[in-house]
Amino acid sequence: MKPTYDAIVIGSGLGGLTCAKRLADADHRVLLLEQHFQLGGLATWFKRGGHIFDVSLHGFPYGMVKTCKKYWGKTIQSAIVQLKNIVFDNPQFSLTTSFSKDDFIRLLQERFGVAEAVVREFFITIEGMNFYDDQKLRTFELFERFFPGRGDIHRLLLEPISYANGSTLDEPAITYGIVFSNFMNRGVFTFEGGTDRLIGLMEHELKNLGVDIRTSARVERVVLNKGRATGVMVDGKYIPARAVISNAGITNTVDDLVGREVLSENFCERFAQVRVNNSSCQVYFGIRKGESIPDIGDLLFTSREEQFTSEALRDLRTKSRTFSVYYPKTRPDAPPDYTIVASMNANFDDWARLNAHEYAQEKEAMVERCLADLERYLPGVHSKIDVIESATPLTFQRYTLHSKGTSFGTKFEGLDISRSLHKELPGLFHVGSVGIIMSGWLGAINYGVIVANDVDSWLRDT
* Count of CB atoms situated within 10 Å of the CB of 185: 15
Structural domain includes residue 301: yes
What is the rounded CA–CA span in Å between residue 46 and residue 30? 27
| 315 and 396 inside one domain | yes
CA neighbours within 13 Å on the CB side: how many for 347? 14
Give the domain extent around 138: 99-185
Structural domain includes residue 137: yes
Structural domain includes residue 54: no
| 266 and 415 inside one domain | yes
Structural domain includes residue 52: no
What is the rounded CA–CA span in Å between residue 139 and residue 143? 6
Q: Average pLDDT of the chain?
A: 94
| 297 and 382 inside one domain | yes
DSSP class per residue in 356-374: HHHHHHHHHHHHHHHHHHH
Q: Answer for the pair 44, 150: CB distance below 8 angstroms, yes or no.
A: no
The model's confidence at residue 164, banded by pLDDT at 50, 70 and 90, is confident
The model's confidence at residue 364, banded by pLDDT at 50, 70 and 90, is very high
| 253 and 357 inside one domain | no
Predicted structure pTM score: 0.95
Single out the residue in 185, 203, 235 at which a domain terminates.
185
Residues 6+ apart with CB under 8 A from 358: none
- CATH label of the domain that carries residue 454: 3.50.50.60
Structural domain includes residue 19: yes
Q: Answer for the pair 88, 95: CB distance below 8 angstroms, yes or no.
A: yes
Q: How many domains does the chain have?
A: 3
pLDDT recorded at residue 437: 78
| 111 and 257 inside one domain | no
What is the rounded CA–CA span in Å between residue 454 and residue 22? 11
| 267 and 415 inside one domain | yes
| 270 and 419 inside one domain | yes
| 327 and 436 inside one domain | no
Single out the residue in 400, 422, 444 at which a domain terminates.
400
Residues 176-223 have pLDDT tens digits of 888 888 888 788 999 999 999 999 999 999 999 999 999 999 999 999
Q: Answer for the pair 8, 239: CB distance below 8 angstroms, yes or no.
A: yes
Poorest-pLDDT segment among 41-50, 55-64, 184-193, 339-348: 55-64
Would the pLDDT of 133 be above 80? no
| 254 and 323 inside one domain | no
| 167 and 22 inside one domain | no
* Count of CB atoms situated within 10 Å of the CB of 192: 16
Beta bridge partners of 88: 95, 301
172 DSSP 8-state letter: B
Residues 6+ apart with CB under 8 A from 102: none
Residues 433-460 have pLDDT tens digits of 998 777 889 999 999 999 999 999 999 9
Structural domain includes residue 420: yes
Helix, strand, coil percentages (3-state) for the chain, rounded to 5, are 45, 25, 35
Structural domain includes residue 347: yes
Q: What angle do CA 407, 246, 177 make, to 5 degrees?
A: 45
| 359 and 420 inside one domain | no
Structural domain includes residue 88: no
The model's confidence at residue 334, banded by pLDDT at 50, 70 and 90, is confident
Would the pLDDT of 57 be above 70? no
| 442 and 395 inside one domain | no
